[in-house]
Structure 1
Amino acid sequence: MTEGHKPLRDLLTELLAPALSSTGERPAITQLQRLTGGAAAQTWAFVAELESESHALILRLGQDQQQFGAALSKRQEAQLITAARHHGVLAPEVVVSLPEDNPLGEGFVMRRLAGEALPQRILRDDRYARARENLTGQCADNLAAIHSIPQTRLDNIPAMDADTQLDFYRSAYLGYPLRSAAFEYAFRWLRQHRPDTRDEALVHGDFRNGNLLVDEQGISAVLDWELAHIGDPMEDLGWLCVNSWRFGRRDKPVGGFGQRDDLYRAYERASGRVVKADHVHYWEVFGTLKWGVICLYQAHVHLSGSEPSLERAAIGRRVSECEVDVLSLLRGQQP
């Protein structure tokens, strides 16, 4: 650990002493390192060592000044993960949230679980061959569990129907200098084809390959809850099928590992809801446009100089992929 990590180490020591030890023993913070990935938040891995045991942990910090506007605060995210875990979702255990007015901003510490989150490895390594067979059904089961969480257990989670989200992403899109004919067409199509749904539930908002921790048997944890909201549960199914989250496996629209019909049947069994393909298609179109606008945002943060970042720049270059995908969907072709 470098001297530059000392303020973070000291804060974690103070924070975790009462959370990990009934006697208030101060843990030694070792193996502290920032992990790759995560353009919207910092993620740190470390070990908290007590005299009798060690705890492998993860620290999630929100980059509040550059957080995309629709995201939950880290405090809300921690509360939501805890509620989801209590309702049978495979979610990490939150150990403690950072107190207000600490120098690092909002964040929380959770248990570190075994598994792989990099989609390319999940989709290609022989180690995860059996997991790939199980993932579609496990996605359906976890989505059904998420969508069944009583709204009375959810505190200050925003409600976001199709119109509300279209307003938000349209406003964001107009704030960036690039104009896209494909995106303009998609915004108009989505306004004209809004599904008639009265079914509202907790929506994860970013349930996809890349936000799933996977071991040799399948999902070990559902990650990254910062875009959660109350809305149409079919939104999560459509987002899972967006082409960008297949990572080259275009023949397997569900995350690069499964087929839509299998996902729909498994979700119907687990949730008791009826899935209509055209309803999910609407949200796949929406998800493709949404990701395109987020790519514009990431490029803008980098190019404006407010936070130069190779990762943000690389994401920003994917706008053109979204344009091709959304036009393919609107022409009745599968991207």
Structure 2
Amino acid sequence: MARARMTLTRSTGASIEGGLRAIAGRIDASATGISGLQRLSGGATQEIWCFDIETPARDDKRYILRRAPGGTRITDGTGLELEAELMAAAAKAGVPVAEVMHVLSPEDGLGHGFIMRFVEGETLGGRIVKSDHLRAARQTLAFECGETLARLHRIPAGDFPTLARATPAELVERTRIVYARTTIRRPVFDLAFRWLTDNAPPVPAEPKLVHGDFRNGNLMIGPDGLRAVLDWELAHVGDPMEDLGWICVNSWRFGRIDLPVGGFGTLDDLLAGYELISGSRLDRSAVHWWEVYGTIRWGAICAASVEAFRGEDATMERAMIARRTSETEIDLLRLIAS
């Protein structure tokens, strides 16, 4: 079985290399070929491939191919073509993202996906909160995230009419349905759902573009700070405070529970950065509500992983996610009591 998987990977890599070589000139007019193709371990739902484009000047440039699994399998989310459009719009709005160079078309023969410039940096949350070489970046990173989210929320939602829309109450109900499909009843979850219903914020008068997964682990960080916002596949239209609550969920602090923003900064700094760009004051209670929602959202995903592990996805990764359900129960009790 291991040998069969290796053969499949080599065959896939050869096919992708041939396809990239054929379109290299569309990415860089001076391209003479490609080299160094390798699949990266990141990317839970999409394939991520790194490669270099060779040029006569020998100043090879590195790029990333973000591709649907197998090139054709469609996963939940916006779709890769729309994701590329969102990233292009984000760049115009001043949000740091990797530059999209080419969106795959059927004649490219590579399936669904797009090619973007390689951005050097760290994405592993544990390293971001602990590495000495990122110490200076951490001092201002929460403020920078606030600024970035304010710019992101300025992107006209009307430019993306096919994006999903949801009110706070609808999101809670969707999460409740995910939890209801699991076989283990968790009284803490039931309490949290009741609290969310009783304390739900009003539907925003002007729904905004929401990234949907803005957190430590989906940010490219360098010694100089935030270099790129990654993984736009969960973007939708709704309450912008969802993004601020999500980055504060304890599961994304990687052990630094004393620093609520991604394990690297304070809520005061996050809100100050946001308010500087947006020009409006934020309601801390609304951010708190979205942190509770984000916690049970992740908790329901973890709980569903128990069923997945017992079924067709008996992987170590699935087991590790499943066991984190109890962590979210502790977090929910702390949040509701605060």
TM-score normalised to the size of structure 2? 0.89
1:119 and 2:125 correspond: yes
1:176–1:283 distance in 2 versus 1, CA, 3 Å: same
CA-CA distance at 1:315 after TM superposition: 1.8
Residues 40 and 66, structure 1, Cα contact 8 Å, conserved in 2? no
Unmatched segments (≥5 aa) in structure 1: none
1:79 and 2:85 correspond: yes
How large is the Cα RMSD of the aligned pairs? 2.2
1:293–1:41 distance in 2 versus 1, CA, 3 Å: farther
1:12–1:304 distance in 2 versus 1, CA, 3 Å: farther
1:103–1:131 distance in 2 versus 1, CA, 3 Å: same
1:208 and 2:215 correspond: yes
Which of 42, 47, 51 matches 1:46? Answer: 51
CA-CA distance at 1:177 after TM superposition: 2.9
1:273 and 2:280 correspond: yes
Map residues 25-104 of structure 1 onto 2, 5 A cutoff. Answer: 27-28=33-34, 30-52=35-57, 53-63=59-69, 67=75, 69=76, 71-100=77-106
* Corresponding residue SS for 1:315: helix
Residues 147 and 233, structure 1, Cα contact 8 Å, conserved in 2? yes
Quote the Cα distance in structure 2 between the aligned partners of 1:132 and 1:255: 10
1:107 and 2:119 correspond: no
Deviations, residues 58-96 of structure 1 (Å, cap 9, x unaligned) = 1212347583x4x21111111101110111100111111
Residues 199 and 233, structure 1, Cα contact 8 Å, conserved in 2? no
Q: Which amino acid counterpart does residue 254 of structure 1 have in structure 2?
A: V
Tell me the residue number matched to 2:3: none
1:4–1:79 distance in 2 versus 1, CA, 3 Å: closer
Map residues 172-211 of structure 1 onto 2, 5 A cutoff. Answer: 172-196=178-202, 197-211=204-218
Q: Which amino acid counterpart does residue 190 of structure 1 have in structure 2?
A: L
Q: Which amino acid counterpart does residue 288 of structure 1 have in structure 2?
A: T
Map residues 105-254 of structure 1 onto 2, 5 A cutoff. Answer: 105-196=111-202, 197-254=204-261
Which of 6, 14, 17 matches 1:6? Answer: 14
1:330–1:62 distance in 2 versus 1, CA, 3 Å: farther
Q: Which amino acid counterpart does residue 333 of structure 2 have in structure 1?
A: L
CA-CA distance at 1:139 after TM superposition: 0.3
Quote the Cα distance in structure 2 between the aligned partners of 1:155 and 1:59: 26
TM-score normalised to the size of structure 1? 0.90
CA-CA distance at 1:4 after TM superposition: 5.0
* Corresponding residue SS for 2:94: coil
Q: Which amino acid counterpart does residue 255 of structure 2 have in structure 1?
A: G
Map residues 289-308 of structure 1 onto 2, 5 A cutoff. Answer: 289-305=296-312, 307-308=313-314
Residues 134 and 217, structure 1, Cα contact 8 Å, conserved in 2? no
CA-CA distance at 1:324 after TM superposition: 1.2
Q: Which amino acid counterpart does residue 94 of structure 2 have in structure 1?
A: G
Compare 133-142 and 262-271 and name the one that shifted more. Answer: 262-271
Tell me the residue number matched to 1:19: 27
Q: Which amino acid counterpart does residue 57 of structure 1 have in structure 2?
A: Y
Which of 313, 317, 332 matches 1:311? Answer: 317
Q: Which amino acid counterpart does residue 48 of structure 1 have in structure 2?
A: I
Quote the Cα distance in structure 1 between the aligned partners of 2:222 and 2:96: 12
Q: Which amino acid counterpart does residue 43 of structure 2 have in structure 1?
A: G
Q: Which amino acid counterpart does residue 192 of structure 2 have in structure 1?
A: A
Q: Which amino acid counterpart does residue 26 of structure 2 have in structure 1?
A: P
CA-CA distance at 1:8 after TM superposition: 1.5
Moved over 6 A (4+): none
CA-CA distance at 1:328 after TM superposition: 1.4
Residues 64 and 116, structure 2, Cα contact 8 Å, conserved in 1? yes
* Corresponding residue SS for 1:79: helix
Quote the Cα distance in structure 1 between the aligned partners of 2:323 and 2:160: 36
1:96–1:47 distance in 2 versus 1, CA, 3 Å: same
CA-CA distance at 1:298 after TM superposition: 4.2
Residues 15 and 98, structure 1, Cα contact 8 Å, conserved in 2? no
Deviations, residues 121-154 of structure 1 (Å, cap 9, x unaligned) = 1111111111001101110110010011122333
Quote the Cα distance in structure 1 between the aligned partners of 2:95 and 2:292: 27
* Corresponding residue SS for 1:311: helix
Paired positions, count: 326
Q: Percent identity among equivalent residues?
A: 40
Quote the Cα distance in structure 2 between the aligned partners of 1:320 and 1:175: 17
